[in-house]
Amino acid sequence: MKINRKELLDTLSIVSPGVSNKEMAIEQATTFAFLKDRVVTYNDEISISHPIEGMEGLEGAIEAKILYPLLERIKEETIELTRNKNSEIVIKAGKMRSGLLLQKEIDLPIEEEIEDRDAWTLIPENLIEALSFVVFSAGRGLDSPILSGIHVSSKGFVEASDGYRMARYALKGDLEVESFVIPASNISSLIRLPNITHIAQGIGWIHFKTEEGTEFSSRIFEESYPNATSWLKLDGKRLVLPENIEEVLNRAVILSARKTAADEEVLFELEGGKFRVVSECDVAWFEEEVEAEYEGSGEFSIRIAPSFLKDILKRTTLCLIGTNKIKFVGEGWEYVSLLKV
């Protein structure tokens, strides 16, 4: 059968975050699994599936690290796929032929875990926006694993905290599933999908679906999220950041580069009546003094992810400084962080 190479690559790209990049007890966690009219990936933390056409009769699993780069380096727009007697998928393109082992039996625990779900319901219209906003406040590598998750509450909000900072975002519309806590590490793969419209809950899993038929499934925590509502309460003095603060951040972030945006940090520091933005890396450092309107007195400092702060500054430049906390607040959202005073 003939198939468009680019369309196949685009489909595999959608599900590729579900491919494991390390050895696992689940052998086929490193494969693309072709099941009837869908292609599926599963790595025991997330699973992604997407509709696919033109693969009828070729059900089975193929190693992702071989199939994907091979398709990338073929120049022909149309390729031909056949199955031979040696249980191989043979790819033909121009004068090229390549045989890839087709594992006929799908051993991934997809049916037992992923397909066990309630009915699909519409998500609140700003759920993905809320997840994107709070993810920077979730913990990483903490003694309390639950704080490395994001709490999606049936009471109408999304929140995350690492015990040092906390963000909460109000949902627009009802969440028609029970409250759940999803690992923050799975959020980047989820929010890269366009047009997410539906949600369903399973046993130990939460499922999302897009308009295009992509299904994204993530494990969820079994334990409940701690109640931290009181932590958001703060009476403090007003601090208004200058209009050029984003320009300063753009310079500071160059010296705060880390592997991921969530790991980057800049330091906001008030000392001796002067407000500074500070950053550093292994080979350089940066600081810049800025004008800011502050009603209070004393000194404080706060470390914050610049990409997250930029998102806040699009919404407000006003914050409150308390005895040991700083708070930004806007329409439908709150962010609080401990200060070093």
In the structure, what pLDDT confidence band is assigned to residue 125 with cuts at 50, 70 and 90?
Answer: very high
Q: What is the pLDDT of residue 282?
A: 86
Q: CA 201, 231, 228: angle at the middle one, nearest 5?
A: 25
Q: Which of the 8 DSSP states describes residue 281? A: -
pLDDT of 260 over the 60 cut: no
Q: Which of the 8 DSSP states describes residue 66? A: H
In the structure, what pLDDT confidence band is assigned to residue 271 with cuts at 50, 70 and 90?
Answer: confident
Query: Which is nearest to 138 in space by CA: 268, 321, 9, 308?
Result: 308
In the structure, what pLDDT confidence band is assigned to residue 258 with cuts at 50, 70 and 90?
Answer: low
Q: What is the pLDDT of residue 262?
A: 55
Distance CA 327, CA 321 (A): 7
Average pLDDT over residues 201-211: 94
Q: pLDDT tens across 26-79, in order?
A: 878 999 999 888 999 999 999 999 999 878 778 999 999 999 999 999 999 999
Q: Is residue 98 a contact partner of residue 90, using CB atoms and an 8 Å limit?
A: yes
> Could you give all domains of the chain from N- to C-terminal order, each with its CATH number?
2-114 (3.10.150.10), 121-230 (3.10.150.10), 233-338 (3.10.150.10)
Q: What is the pLDDT of residue 193?
A: 97
Residue 188: which H helix or E strand, with range? helix 187-191
Q: CA 243, 246, 247: angle at the middle one, nearest 5?
A: 95
Give the predicted TM-score (pTM) of the model: 0.88
Query: What are 215's strand-pairing partners?
Result: 49, 209
Average pLDDT over residues 178-194: 97
Considering the chain, what percentage of its residues have pLDDT values greater than 70? 95
